[in-house]
Amino acid sequence: MDSLGGNISPPGVDTKLLFTGISGVALFAIALFQLSPKRRDGNGEDQGLFRSLILFCYSCFLKPHPVEAKATQQVALEAFYSGQASIYDSTRKTLLKGREDMLALVAAQLRVKAEKASASAGAGRIWVDVGGGTGWNIESMSRFVDVPSFFSAVYLVDFSPSLCEVARKRFARLGWTNVNVVCEDARKFRLQGSGADLITMSYSLSMIPDYYSVVDSLTSLLSPQGVVGVVDFYVQSKIDVSFRNYTGGMIDRHVNFLARTFWRAWFDLDRVALEPGRRDYLEYRFGTVLMVSSRNYTLGSIPYYVWVGCPKGRFSAAEPHGDIAHYVDSLARETQWIRPSNKTIAHSPANQVRSKAFEAAAQNLASNLPLPSFFYQNHHWRLYYDDQLKKHTQFNDEYIYAFTWEDSRVDGHLLKLGPEDVVLAITSAGDNILAYAMQSSARIHAIDLNPTQNHLLELKVAAFTALPYEDVWKLFGEGKHPEFRSLLVSKLSPHLSSRAFQYWLSHSDIFRSRGLYDTGGSRHAIRVFRWISRVFGCRRDVKKLLAAKTLNEQAEIWQSKIRPALFCRIVNSLVLDSEAFLWSALGVPKNQLAMIEADHANSDAVNGPNPTAKNTRAQAVWHYMVNTFDPVIRETHIATDNPYYHVCLEGSFSKRCHPEYLSQAAYNHLSRPGAFNRLRIHTDEIEEVVGRIEPASLTVAVVMDSMDWFDPGSDAAAQQILKLNRALKIGGRVLLRSSALTPWYIREFEAHGFAGKRVGNRTEGSCIDRVNMYASCWICTKRQDTSVPIPGA
């Protein structure tokens, strides 16, 4: 633990005796695990296993703490570190997790800032490593940047002379002349001239008795556009922070009572304080850019966090930062950005409709709190939302769709978007959002109530922004990338919101093992199909289907081998008749299922002169699926021109068959600087977003099949249609798909100022598009305004 100080008072004798016996055995096993026969210290000298082990255990758990009345903080530090300074680095590798991640994250932030500022490498860039100890952090930073050229000056500040001496020898050996080792109390350290571009603290905040003054001193050291990186131990209950909207997310932050009690007592032996106030004060004094809570599973799940911050008053990528809330409000609401002269947030009219981001900013500024993490991001794609609301947590941190189940080619043909179009669309997996961005529409509002669907879109946008085409293809074409975690931390992190970054860091195994397209709720349907094909011995036939060169060959394999297995009686009764399966695997809610049943009950299959089916749910779903799959096989070539079924069968796309956004041409377009400046990602209901948006500002709304989810007995559909009418211009269009040939809510559209037109319907035996999952496709065009009260007016 790199140090500045600790509590120089000895812990209670009884407590120390209690834990010494436990620590002797545990630490011996730990040391054997983490130490190889030969280790090198900061000077490059070999240290023996036995000597390192003895020094480590004695210094940390057996050596008495100084009790003299005149003992100073520096004396206490020397008493602790002097005997183990030479073996410090070799004994902390397994214990101090997250240091490399913190360095990679801050390096990535600095690189992005340099690119935006077109700054030359090392032009006045200053780094202060507070509690830098032996200099391990500074040498390790060379994995991510060239330290001698990237920084004009580096200051290692530590209060332990023994550790500082190890650091001096380290940098003399390396020949790095821009590194200055300063043995001084961090509270007194000052820089001449401009502030630091980077300040880091690696496992030192938890060892500082007077941490308030040290954290306060960092605010004066940091430049207005600087970055702070901290990694340290912690324990905390989610109850302490669940009401705070500025922490950057809650994933894995909670530590249960037993773990909190045990780890605080354990680390108190070593004068390391894990009370939550240290982390809380850091988050209060700075703005949070990224935050991660994790566990060191190698050593009993020790909780630690990695945090990246910036000055509380700094708002990157914004118009004049004093008006950041107004600027963001204009992005979310489609209003013209006009700087409000001589106004503050507090003076805004009480009845004026505002975005939720604006309301959160007003609340925080009035309370002297940092703004929500969103405001400190390098991009304002992802708009603020409260991730603790039940409407968001109901999804249990899982997306349903790993790829979008809508034909973007047909969407493009129907909508013919131009540079003046302002589009609102459901996010789903984000594929269609990227397709709309390729058409250069003026702005795109992506909306999804499920936060993880928007996390997926964010990841795709960040990949196009920061990665070469080869990596983008591996991630979203093949669905796997063995280096995903490294790319996430070192390349993608500056382009992600804090919550999205945390989510993908905690789910990084997706791209290394299962693959993206074997995840999400829809994976259940894909796995069921694989199970059926194995049970009925037709896995080879699935491969033959994907290799078929003609439609006739494809149809023959389907009819003779795969179709009999998929639509057999046992599958029909066990799978297709299960409402739980239809919802979790296919995303079919009960109201949509009722529409399928109603159409089936009125069909010729039930009521015709020669009925072939019974009027049951199982038969309704069976006929619906038959009318979906049979035409797809007859009319679309899966191997070359139907990526939606290709990915289901193969688990990946291919270079011959993939969505439009994965082409090289699309990459060239979407990877251009500023390509996504017109994108806004909302995590909310459609009616919440359109209810706050500027009237008559949208030209297109793509709601997919979401209207099918409404209960015909409620007025929810009518209320959403009214708000869509308010938000759309005259002539604006709503594109929707439905499981019904003539959905009941089309009458609601027509009753509230729209003209409905069916632009596609799935007759028996024909495809409506390459997906063919919906019975009809409609465009409802706004013909007249209807009166709808503005919320809050």
Query: Residue 388: pLDDT above 60?
Result: yes
- According to the model, what pLDDT value does residue 572 have? 64
Asked which of 304-308, 325-329, 366-370, 505-509 is least confident by mean pLDDT, the reply is 325-329
Highest mean pLDDT among 83-92, 119-128, 435-444: 435-444
Q: Tokens 């950057």 label which residue?
A: 248
Q: How many CB atoms lie within 10 A of CB 782?
A: 26
The contacts of residue 725 (CB under 8 Å, 6+ apart) are 752, 753, 754, 782, 785, 786, 788
**Integer Cα distance of 620 and 426 in angstroms:** 27
pLDDT in tens, 714-726: 999 999 999 999 9
**Integer Cα distance of 135 and 183 in angstroms:** 12
Asked which of 156-165, 635-644, 652-661 is least confident by mean pLDDT, the reply is 156-165
Whether the CB-CB separation of 127 and 154 falls below 8 Å is answered with yes
**Assigned token pair, 771:** 């997906």
Confidence of residue 231 (pLDDT cuts 50, 70, 90): very high
From edge to edge, which strands make up the β-sheet containing 728-738? 679-682, 443-447, 422-426, 698-704, 728-738, 776-782, 754-761
Asked which of 28-42, 484-498, 585-599 is least confident by mean pLDDT, the reply is 28-42
Phi, psi at 742, each rounded to 5°: -135, 90
**Integer Cα distance of 597 and 586 in angstroms:** 16
Residue 268: its H or E element = helix 257-268
Query: Residue 506: pLDDT above 90?
Result: yes
Helix (H, G, I), strand (E, B) or coil at 476: helix
Asked which of 104-113, 497-506, 507-516 is least confident by mean pLDDT, the reply is 507-516
- According to the model, what pLDDT value does residue 564 have? 87
**Assigned token pair, 233:** 């131990």
Helix (H, G, I), strand (E, B) or coil at 326: helix
**Integer Cα distance of 92 and 207 in angstroms:** 15
**Assigned token pair, 372:** 């929500």
- According to the model, what pLDDT value does residue 12 have? 38
Closest Cα partner for 491 from 512, 521, 462, 519?
462
pLDDT in tens, 98-141: 999 999 999 999 999 888 776 444 457 999 999 998 999 999 99
Higher pLDDT, 524 or 316: 524
- Where are the domain boundaries for CATH 3.40.50.150 in the chain? 95-311
Confidence of residue 624 (pLDDT cuts 50, 70, 90): confident
DSSP calls for 169-220: HHHHHHT-TTEEEEES-GGG---SSS-EEEEEEES-GGG-TTHHHHHHHHHH
Highest mean pLDDT among 16-30, 119-133, 496-510: 496-510
Helix (H, G, I), strand (E, B) or coil at 231: strand
**Integer Cα distance of 493 and 502 in angstroms:** 10
- According to the model, what pLDDT value does residue 325 have? 84
Closest Cα partner for 561 from 543, 577, 575?
543
Residue 713: its H or E element = none
Asked which of 57-61, 246-250, 768-772, 773-777 is least confident by mean pLDDT, the reply is 57-61
The contacts of residue 457 (CB under 8 Å, 6+ apart) are 427, 429, 430, 433, 446, 448, 681
Burial class (CB in 10 A: 0-12, 13-18, 19+), 373: buried
**Integer Cα distance of 475 and 486 in angstroms:** 13
Helix (H, G, I), strand (E, B) or coil at 312: coil
Query: Residue 480: pLDDT above 90?
Result: yes
**Integer Cα distance of 567 and 49 in angstroms:** 65
Mean per-residue pLDDT, 688-710: 94
Measure CA 362 to chain center. Answer: 25
- According to the model, what pLDDT value does residue 347 have? 52
Question: Across all residues in the chain, what is the average pLDDT?
Answer: 84
Residue 609: C-alpha distances to residues 196, 596, 605 (Å)? 83, 21, 9
**Domain 95-311: CATH architecture, name and number where available:** 3-Layer(aba) Sandwich (3.40)
Higher pLDDT, 352 or 28: 352
- According to the model, what pLDDT value does residue 59 have? 57
Please list the residues that pair with 287 across neighbouring strands.
310
- According to the model, what pLDDT value does residue 38 have? 46
Confidence of residue 71 (pLDDT cuts 50, 70, 90): low
Q: What is the CA radius of gyration of the chain?
A: 30
**Integer Cα distance of 369 and 389 in angstroms:** 21
Query: Residue 50: pLDDT above 60?
Result: no
**Integer Cα distance of 591 and 343 in angstroms:** 48
User: Which own/partner contact pairs does 599-607 have at CB distance under 8 Å and 24+ positions apart?
Assistant: 599/739, 599/740, 599/741, 599/775, 600/624
Higher pLDDT, 188 or 336: 188
Whether the CB-CB separation of 156 and 132 falls below 8 Å is answered with yes
Confidence of residue 8 (pLDDT cuts 50, 70, 90): very low
Query: Residue 146: pLDDT above 80?
Result: yes
- According to the model, what pLDDT value does residue 571 have? 64
Closest Cα partner for 742 from 779, 769, 778, 701?
778
Closest Cα partner for 32 from 15, 57, 12, 9?
57
Confidence of residue 497 (pLDDT cuts 50, 70, 90): very high
Q: How many CB atoms lie within 10 A of CB 735?
A: 21
Mean per-residue pLDDT, 769-778: 94
Question: What's the first-to-final CA gap in the chain, in angstroms?
Answer: 56
**Integer Cα distance of 47 and 40 in angstroms:** 6
DSSP calls for 546-601: HH--SHHHHHHHIIIIIHHHHTSHHHIIIIIT-HHHHHHHH---HHHHHHHHHHHH
The contacts of residue 263 (CB under 8 Å, 6+ apart) are 233, 235, 255, 274, 302, 303
